[in-house]
Amino acid sequence: LQQRRGLRLSAPATIQVTVRDALNQALDEELERDERVFLLGEEVAQYDGAYKISRGLWKKYGDKRVIDTPISEMGFAGIAVGAAMAGLRPVCEFMTFNFSMQAIDQVINSAAKTCYMSAGSIAVPIVFRGPNGASAGVAAQHSQCFAAWYGHCPGLKVVSPWSAEDAKGLLKASIRDDNPVVVLENELLYGVPFEMSEQAQSKEFVIPIGKAKIERQGTHVTVVAHSRPVGHCIEAAAVLSKEGVECEVINLRTIRPMDIETVEASVVKTNHLVTVEGGWPQFGVGAEICARIMEGPAFNYLDAPAVRVTGADVPMPYAKILEDNCIPQVKDIVFAVKKALNI
């Protein structure tokens, strides 16, 4: 009726988008925007990707822009690094980041170090992306989180998205960056829908690398996480809110460079810190956050020791009950917050 009267109907400001579709949008928009961008990896072309992230892109852009590779991570990662050095902007997909161990020499020695070793004369604008960390029922050799591994290495930028907006904005920023960027996605998030704002639906939407986001305001404790555990932290915060405890949940988004300033400002306000991650505890992302807080001005505002919630310090078991006990759950975060607050 309104349309018949000539009234313009406005589109809804937000829409529901899965992480899979957000990543697909980002790749599509960047392939369209810059002819130097191309995607390569195992089954990314004719099969539309092992997780359907590249659905429709081969049909749209053809063999030169979306390239199926042999099962040889060291080989196709090396080809991608060489292409980046020659002026192209490759997006190199690992079917899982566990397989990136086959190519880690190319990622670190060829990609990460070249700009420094060439005194800035050779840029390596490349993105290494794919699912990272534990999935479900895939055991030890497919469940490792590489955030700490790649976050350890100068010369790399490392991002770890949670929501659909994170996935789209960070992937687009990574493709446009002139440095090697590792994009650590999560397989269990691919099918999860998130609200996407009107701004994020734009083809020019990017999220700056190195900037965390406060997902929930709070006053009693700062809870910092990245990737899938961000959702667990928000769930734990809802449980604790019913008991009068208000958590400030920070979505780290970027592992390197780390936005420690946002964490510090939150700790100054709440006086307590809990870190949550799916990776192993030793030399982990949480350990780095705790060290940076201890070394900086926010340490003087802590009223209690920081508490880390991590994956269990064992290779991932196959059995579901054991797997569940190896990955941080909502109850583990609730327990850690109460420990930090001594309640």
Predicted confidence (pLDDT) per residue in 23-32, tens digit: 999 999 999 9
Cβ burial, residue 27 (10 Å; 0-12/13-18/19+) = buried
**CB of 220 within 8 A of CB of 341?**
yes
pLDDT, mean of residues 128-148: 94
Q: What is the DSSP string of 49-104?
A: -TTSTTTTHHHHH-TTTEEE--S-HHHHHHHHHHHHHTT-EEEEE-SSGGGGGGGH
Q: b vs e for 87-112, b when ≥16 Cβ sit within 10 Å of the residue's Cβ?
A: ebbbbbbbbbbbbbbebbebbbebbb
Average pLDDT for residues 212-217, to the nearest whole number?
A: 98
């980046």: which residue's tokens?
84
pLDDT tier at 1, thresholds 50, 70, 90: very low
Residue with tokens 């794919």: 130
* Length of the chain, in residues: 343
pLDDT confidence of residue 11: 55
* pLDDT score for 13: 85
Given this model, what pLDDT does residue 339 score?
97
Q: Which residue has the tokens 């639906």?
A: 201
Please report the domains of the chain, with CATH numbers, ordered by start residue.
15-201 (3.40.50.970), 213-341 (3.40.50.920)
**CB of 196 closer than 8 Å to CB of 165:** yes
Give 10's pLDDT tier (boundaries 50, 70, 90): low
Confidence label for 63 from pLDDT (cuts 50, 70 and 90): very high
CB 162 within 8 A of CB 230: yes
**Known catalytic residue: 142?**
yes
pLDDT digits (tens, 9 = 90+) for 230-258: 999 999 999 999 999 999 999 999 999 99
| 64-to-20, 91, 200, 287 alpha-carbon distances in Å | 23, 13, 29, 43
User: Is there a contact between 230 and 249 (Cβ–Cβ < 8 Å)?
Assistant: yes
If residue 230 lies in a helix (H) or strand (E), which one and from where to where? helix 229-241
DSSP per residue, 329-342? -HHHHHHHHHHHHT
Find the helix or strand (DSSP H, E) in which 276 lies. strand 273-276
Q: Which of 11, 34, 14, 56 is nearest to 165 (CA)?
A: 14
What's the rounded mean pLDDT across residues 71-78? 97
Active-site residue, selected from the candidate residues 30, 42, 73, 185 = 73
Residue that the structure tokens 């992937």 belong to: 171
Has 220 been annotated as catalytic? Answer: no
Cα torsion for 246, 213, 19, 309, to the nearest 10°?
-50
Give the confidence band of 3 by pLDDT, cuts at 50, 70, 90.
very low
Residue 250: phi and psi, rounded to 5, are: -110, 125
Contact 6, 59 (CB under 8 A): no
Using DSSP, state whether 200 is helix, strand or coil: helix
Tokens of 143: 């469940």
CA distance 48 to 39: 12
Tell me the pLDDT band of 312, cut-offs 50, 70 and 90: very high
138/181 Cα distance (integer angstroms): 26
pLDDT at 61 over 50: yes
Mean pLDDT of the chain: 95
* Residue 281 amino acid letter: P
In contact, 54 and 107? CB cutoff 8 Å: no
What is the rounded average pLDDT of the residues 288-305?
97
Kindly indicate the confidence band of residue 199, based on its pLDDT and cuts at 50, 70 and 90. very high
pLDDT at residue 17, rounded to an integer: 97
From 142, 220, 232, 272, the catalytic residue: 142
Tokens of 258: 């780390």
Determine the Cα–Cα distance for residues 187 and 23; give it in Å rounded to an integer. Answer: 12
